[in-house]
Structure 1
């Protein structure tokens, strides 16, 4: 080969290498969470069914671009896919955001999970199933639209995040919710605390929420606890929640149990949810789970959790005072 051509080729490779590294290909990821569930909504008519369920199967892409000087552009986009109904890809309810990241933390904007939501993840030992306790009046479990937020780096186990969602109406009734949350991890101990101010401009409705979540690992045991208190305007309904649970792991298996108590400000509208489950890891990416969950409603309560509707089952809501229950077998595959 001509020496000049060889030198040019080597030079081009040296220049292109950093450019290709800076423009790294995005990471494609996803999750299948499909099961079979037998659920009884507690009603005398249209009371039970057996069917295929899908609990938040998803497809996502994420990545970053090195902008130099320790600065990165970061992005992510997640799409929901209902495997049960094969209804196609939908962005509804999932996260999409873009932002800048440095040694000082990350600023981002879009529609995404707040850090207030994320702090409860370590305690969700049976999340995305009929046993998911972050329902029945639990607040702050959704992604927020029109969000602007910041998340700090981790300093000796401590992290915090703050987000604000803009109403964008320009009206005097516009509400601009703000959340702030922090977490701390030290060895086997984890705690997360959060506060949400909904900036409610109406005469009634939920206004402020406080949340504490903790986990503690003792050898093969994991203990989880969560508590949320709410403030409402004008005597509106509020639900305060307490959760206790535990997990025992052995080999590729785990046994789980949770109890969630939801206390409503409405008379005789409290409900409790008790759940037990077994999980077995078939591989690093694939897990099978068997879960039973039961809800005890007081005479005016209609709690249903994820057993009805959200799990792709078409059962009607329970009548006041009836007690839904169900069994679900799932295969959860992450890629």
Structure 2
């Protein structure tokens, strides 16, 4: 047995070798696999010498995303979950979940082995007091918004709205993202009261130093009852440097050798209307703000913008289902220390459409197409097969795939 396969082997072996424990609790092995053939290309990069935003990279006229065709599998996953009745309405719960790359047979570990790198936690649940989970978990803001998705296969793929909706458009670093799954997290959700639930999550980082203390606070409240779902969420990123890690090098505050601290915030509003079991419609709005207390002239200080999302899903029969998304991000505004700052051309748009044909309740064929249209300074990206867009480069994707859940 290769060492890289030991974590999965131990997990499966522990479950199979513990009939007494399983008799006292419930354990489920589950998964979702959705490989697809993908055509990806970039086009229309901003010409060399063009005037762009202060926060943008210098345009070269050359694109960064080549025409590539291949197979990918998004966030295809394998997991184990279960619970134990502790009496008095209290349950212990756990979940272990990881990416299963069915396109090439590897996991998500650096060496190709399987790792539990998705929502993985242990916790307590009680209908009277709510739930408490410790481990790796999606943030409250991520969970409470963008509820429809696209055909159940948008997670971790070019179809995800987060590439434009929850990120800044002036650089490729994920540090600006408000679409997070946080390690070292403590997540609490209240019981449901008349359709209303509240949640809060705190996560820290072992990378704390005397200068920086990376951590995230995410909170929200949602109403889910009948045809309506309404949610409001707020999230704060301390010392993640979503601005500096995306601007040109000369403008960066590194947070390592200088005392600059960062505080990035987002507030998200979501409303979903379920006209009936077959048709759903959603609207989201998010305000993002990236701020750093820089003191050196010319360094990044702040950036703010808005983004909006429209989504719909329609089931036309037992076999046919369609979905569509439209995302628009504004150029926003920015500041630098004792220097001018412009955001001209940092806007972006994304359109995604898809259709699915069900062979059974758990298996379906799907096809989807997407296009990101970047402003002349923007670099919003959903590239999957390599490369990152240069300023102004638009990205186009088309895919055909198969999804199976178990």
TM-score grouping bracket, smaller chain normalisation: 0.7 to 0.9
Query: Equivalent of 1:255, from 294, 313, 322?
Result: 322
Residues 1-335 of structure 1 aligned to structure 2 (within 5 Å): 23-42=24-43, 47-88=66-107, 89-91=113-115, 93-103=117-127, 104-126=129-151, 127-128=154-155, 129-136=157-164, 138=166, 139-168=177-206, 169=208, 171=210, 173-200=212-239, 203=260, 205=262, 207-219=264-276, 220-234=278-292, 235-251=301-317, 252-265=319-332, 266-305=343-382, 308-309=383-384, 313-314=385-386, 316-335=387-406
Instruction: Tell me how far apart the structure 1 counterparts of residues 344 and 261 of structure 2 sit (CA, whole Å).
Output: 18
Instruction: Tell me how far apart the structure 2 counterparts of residues 108 and 295 of structure 1 sit (CA, whole Å).
Output: 36
Aligned partner of 2:336 in structure 1 is none
Instruction: Tell me how far apart the structure 1 counterparts of residues 263 and 402 of structure 2 sit (CA, whole Å).
Output: 36
Deviation at 1:244, TM superposition (A): 0.9
| Residues 215-224 or 71-80, more deviating | 215-224
Deviation at 1:248, TM superposition (A): 2.4
Does the CA contact (< 8 Å) of 1:205 and 1:236 recur in 2?
no
Can you give the 5+ residue segments of structure 2 that lack an aligned partner in the other structure? Answer: 1-19, 44-61, 108-112, 167-176, 241-254, 293-300, 333-342
Task: Tell me the C-alpha RMSD between the 2 structures.
Answer: 2.3
Can you give the 5+ residue segments of structure 1 that lack an aligned partner in the other structure? Answer: 1-18
Matched pairs, number? 311
Instruction: List structure 1 runs of 4+ shifted beyond 4 angstroms.
Output: 19-22, 43-46
Does the CA contact (< 8 Å) of 1:22 and 1:66 recur in 2?
no
Output the TM-score relative to the length of structure 2. Answer: 0.71
Instruction: Tell me how far apart the structure 2 counterparts of residues 274 and 53 of structure 1 sit (CA, whole Å).
Output: 20
Output the TM-score relative to the length of structure 1. Answer: 0.85
After superposition, the C-alpha distances for 1:188-239 in whole angstroms (9 at most, x for unaligned) are 1111210112234963645211011111122443211111111221434444
Instruction: Tell me how far apart the structure 2 counterparts of residues 146 and 140 of structure 1 sit (CA, whole Å).
Output: 17
Does the CA contact (< 8 Å) of 2:352 and 2:369 recur in 1?
yes
Name the structure where strand makes up a greater proportion of residues: 1
Does the CA contact (< 8 Å) of 1:137 and 1:239 recur in 2?
no
Deviation at 1:167, TM superposition (A): 3.0
